[in-house]
Amino acid sequence: MADQPNQKRNALESKEKTELLEIAKAAGIKTSGRASKDHLIELIAGGAAPDKTDTAESPRPRIRRAVAMSAEEFESSLSIPTVTPRESSESESTPTGESTPSDSGERRQGGPQGRNDRGPREPREPREPRDFDRNGRNANGNAGGNSNRNRRNRNRDRFERGGEPQRDSDTNYTGELIEIEGILDLRDDGYGFLRVKGYSPSPNDCYVSIATVRRLGLRKGDVLKGAYRPAASNEKYPALQRIDTVHGYDPEVARLRPRFEDLTPLFPDEKLHLETLDGSKTDLTPRIVDLISPIGKGQRGLIVSPPKAGKTTVMKQIAQSIEKNNPEVHLMVLLVDERPEEVTDMRRSVNGEVIASTFDRPADEHTHIAELCIERAKRLVEMKKDVVIILDGITRLARAYNLASPATGRIMSGGVDSGALYPPKKFFGAARNIEEGGSLTILATALVETGSKMDEVIFEEFKGTGNMELKLDRRLAERRLYPAIDVNSSSTRHEELLFERNELAQIWKLRRVLVGLSAEGREAAGLELLIDKLKTTKSNVEFLAEIGKGPNPTT
């Protein structure tokens, strides 16, 4: 019996200091990590520690419960997504690397092997699926006891960044729905917003979920009419709950429409008459355009103009003539990077849609409204509508894309990124006459002679893409000859499809007269003669009849 203390001391001396600290802590002996190994042996061997059986038996009821758990109960515990607050607090309060009293008791029962003996720790395996970290996640990264709260936080954060919002409250809303109508603006992620105030974002916009978009086959630019519920406490926007019509049609009927890219493009073969026959001076511009460079449904036209040549006035008169003589056409005027006073004047002069972004707005807004405008026009064409877009101007739109688009690293002369010209080309190239019905006409202004190399490069890129060109001359504007149209440089491709055969012969005869005058070195003489003759006649039909009576000019 006298050898037992010596054997106990020898057993303690064979252990490491860290193991002695754990034994002392399990025995309830207060000590610090700075204590020497000899001091720890004296404390433990001096009888301060309680009996081993007491420390080992204290956690036994919990171990027996874990061992008694059947395989079915263990499988069911893996499928439980939450833990009780007591279990969560126990797991969180135990830091990594520290042992519980049950662990220390099991190690002492295992003998000198200590923590390397895995045998007594096997009954703790059923608790591993319940081991959650401080963020409420288990070892697999899944949400645990605070899963509902974490899910709400993630949904709220994702929605504030423009992501998918929480939709759990949709089924819980029992109040009255509110009627709404707007233009659908889809994001790249699949969800969208219903723009209720023009084409720009506003606080009153309504959220449209991905499920709704996929179920009804909605597309960007669709005009929706339906009802929404107010926003929940954790949501930023109200959510659309019901869709009654899409472009005035039943949603099930609208989803069967063809896609714009699948339609067949043709040359313009139906003329948009601009002559108003009111006898006013403002009718001169539409009459000259009808004779020199006629516009057909599906035309892709460029109005090439230097600064201060009267292009805004020409655009306004063309827009007024289109909506007066062609009421079946849906007119849209898109002003990009424009002066605010010009926007107000255009809205007061034209009854059609005027979509504008002034020069004090960022480039991202210019590109956004342009993309939404062209998508809206495509959706109308898919419904076999005739649409006319008057864009002012394609040069400023290309400049906006050059600022807003990510750089490709390939810079052209003038500082134009090669990738920045693709979006405006895609916009301008959407103009076409559709064989299945409908048409999209785009008349865009292009700036020249501005002294900017960038504007020159942009114009050269778009120069051969149009099939109609109306060129304005600054020298004519300086002589106060309005409209300052260069009658020799302005023309339309395949104009024979837009005129009757007898009219076409008279137009060619007029062309030969105008070219003969300009060949003599008098550039303004042709426009002066044309304006004088138009003032003496009431209509283009009468004017062409007088030309037919005259002798044929020699070339």
Q: Quick one: tokens of 399?
A: 């400049």
**Predicted local distance difference test score (pLDDT) of residue 24:** 82
Is residue 32 domain-resident?
no
Within 10 angstroms of residue 462's Cβ, the number of other Cβ atoms is 21
Residue by residue, pLDDT tens for the chain (555 residues) are 556 667 777 778 787 878 888 888 788 787 777 778 788 888 887 754 444 444 444 444 444 444 445 445 544 544 444 444 444 444 444 344 444 444 444 444 444 444 444 444 444 444 444 444 444 444 444 444 444 555 555 544 444 444 444 444 455 677 889 999 999 999 999 999 999 998 999 989 999 999 999 999 999 999 999 999 998 888 888 999 999 999 999 999 999 999 999 999 999 999 999 998 876 767 899 999 999 999 999 999 999 999 989 999 999 999 999 999 999 999 999 999 999 999 999 999 999 999 999 999 999 999 999 999 999 999 999 999 999 999 998 999 999 999 998 888 888 888 999 889 999 999 999 999 999 999 999 999 999 999 999 999 999 999 889 999 999 999 999 998 889 999 999 999 999 999 999 999 999 999 999 888 877 667 788 899 999 999 999 999 999 998 888 777 654
Angle at 539 between CA 326 and CA 346, to 5 degrees: 45
Instruction: Please say whether the beta carbons of 318 and 391 come within 8 A.
Output: no
Question: Residues 269, 244: one domain?
Answer: no
What letter would DSSP give residue 472?
A: B
Closest to 231 in 3D by CA, of 297, 165, 139 = 165
Question: Residues 211, 334: one domain?
Answer: no
DSSP states of 418-443 as a string? GGGGHHHHHHHTT-EEETTS-EEEEE
Question: Residues 249, 271: one domain?
Answer: no
Query: Which among 232, 253, 274 is the end of a domain?
Result: 253
What letter would DSSP give residue 232?
A: -
Number of domains in the chain: 2
Question: Residues 366, 441: one domain?
Answer: yes
Q: Quick one: tokens of 351?
A: 């009854």
What are the φ and ψ backbone dihedral angles of 136, each rounded to 5 degrees? Answer: 80, 25
Side chain identity at residue 502, one-letter code? N
Question: Residues 185, 215: one domain?
Answer: yes
108: CB partners within 8 A, 6+ apart: 23, 26, 52, 55, 56
Domain encompassing residue 279: 264-498
Question: Residues 243, 340: one domain?
Answer: no
C-alpha to C-alpha distances, 555 to 132, 492, 503, nearest whole angstrom: 93, 21, 20
Question: Residues 242, 290: one domain?
Answer: no
Question: Residues 423, 396: one domain?
Answer: yes
Instruction: Please say whether the beta carbons of 219 and 186 come within 8 A.
Output: yes
Is residue 10 domain-resident?
no
Is residue 121 domain-resident?
no
Within 10 angstroms of residue 312's Cβ, the number of other Cβ atoms is 18
Query: Which among 468, 498, 528 is the end of a domain?
Result: 498
Full-model pTM: 0.69
**Predicted local distance difference test score (pLDDT) of residue 212:** 94
Query: Which among 228, 253, 278 is the end of a domain?
Result: 253
H or E element that contains 241: strand 239-246
For 506, the 3-state DSSP assignment is helix
Instruction: Please say whether the beta carbons of 397 and 421 come within 8 A.
Output: no
